[in-house]
Amino acid sequence: MNNQLHVVLLAAGISRRLAPYWTGHPKCLLKFGDKTLLEHHLDRFRILGLSQITVVTGYESEQITSRLASVSDLCIQSVFNPQFREGSIISLATGLAHMPTGTDILTMDADVLYETEVLRRIVEKPGTGFLIDETQQETGEEMMLGVRGGRVLAIARSISNEKWDLMGETVGFFRLECRYVGILRDRIQALIELGQRGAEYEAALQVFIQDHAAWAVAVGGLAWTEIDFAEDVKKANDLIFPKILARDGKNRNVI
């Protein structure tokens, strides 16, 4: 098992942009095939040896915790973010506050459907960094990464006004070395004290990467999608999930 990497799965959001298609339930309980998005995450954690999991809940948290209660083969703790209606920066702060010392952290947005290879690429690369889909273009909706000289220097929705060696959409997964966990906590707290409680957590990552090097691993061509809008659900069902089944389906833990 990959016991030196602790997953923080961010699943606290309200999913306003999915209404009225999906209301009254956390986004990670959307089903693709016969499993929820949450179950697909857990399957891939098992395959890649990720046994230490913290799930940050908020909106309708009991629906998530009741599903997790039956999972006995993974070490899962649920932590509740009572300010889940504010920015995701609060959810990240909540998750990091419950981290053990001496382990690297992998933060993950819970609203992503992906083939196993996507996660493998960040699990198997040591250090601090992101996954980037270099085939995706900026539209103003996606969270983009800008890479120069092998280092991620920008994470924001609009970065195309600068010249980059590599630019693309972040998958929403970020790996952090244990020696930097306290530093990132401090960056988050500083932003909160400056009144940015409503900020996305990427605002803290942007501050962090100015002083600490982070790599980007490309996943262009692999099957993945973030679920924000009703059309994303359709894309996931019609295009992404069939590709995942074709690539991962031979593994009985995934289908």
- Examine residue 255 and state whether it is found in any structural domain, yes or no: no
- Reported as a single tens digit per residue, the pLDDT across 80-99 is 999 999 999 999 999 999 99
Residue 255: pLDDT band (50, 70, 90) is very low
Tell me whether residue 11 is in a domain.
yes
Domain count, the chain: 1
User: What sign has the CA pseudo-torsion 8, 14, 19, 21?
Assistant: positive
Strands (E), the chain: 5-11, 31-32, 35-36, 52-57, 75-80, 104-109, 112-114, 129-133, 144-148, 151-156, 166-176, 215-218, 224-226
Q: What is the mean pLDDT of residues 176-198?
A: 96
User: What pLDDT does 20 receive?
Assistant: 75
CATH number at residue 72: 3.90.550.10
Please answer whether residues 46 and 74 qualify as being in contact, where contact means their C-beta atoms are separated by less than 8 angstroms: yes
* d(C-alpha 219, C-alpha 201), whole Å: 22
Residue 73 pLDDT grade (very low, low, confident, very high; cuts 50, 70, 90): very high
pLDDT over 80 at 131, yes or no: yes
Enter the pTM of the model: 0.95
Q: Is residue 254 part of a domain?
A: no
pLDDT at 148 over 70: yes
Angle at 214 between CA 27 and CA 110, to 5 degrees: 10
Is 24 within the bounds of a domain?
yes
- Full domain range(s) for residue 143: 5-248
- Assess whether pLDDT exceeds 80 at residue 70: yes
Residue 182 has pLDDT above 50, yes or no: yes
Task: Name the band, by pLDDT with cuts 50, 70 and 90, for residue 2.
Answer: low
Q: Is 132 domain-assigned? A: yes
What pLDDT digit, counting tens, does each position of 28-51 carry?
999 999 999 999 999 999 999 999
58 bridge partner residues: none
Residue 253 lies in a domain: no
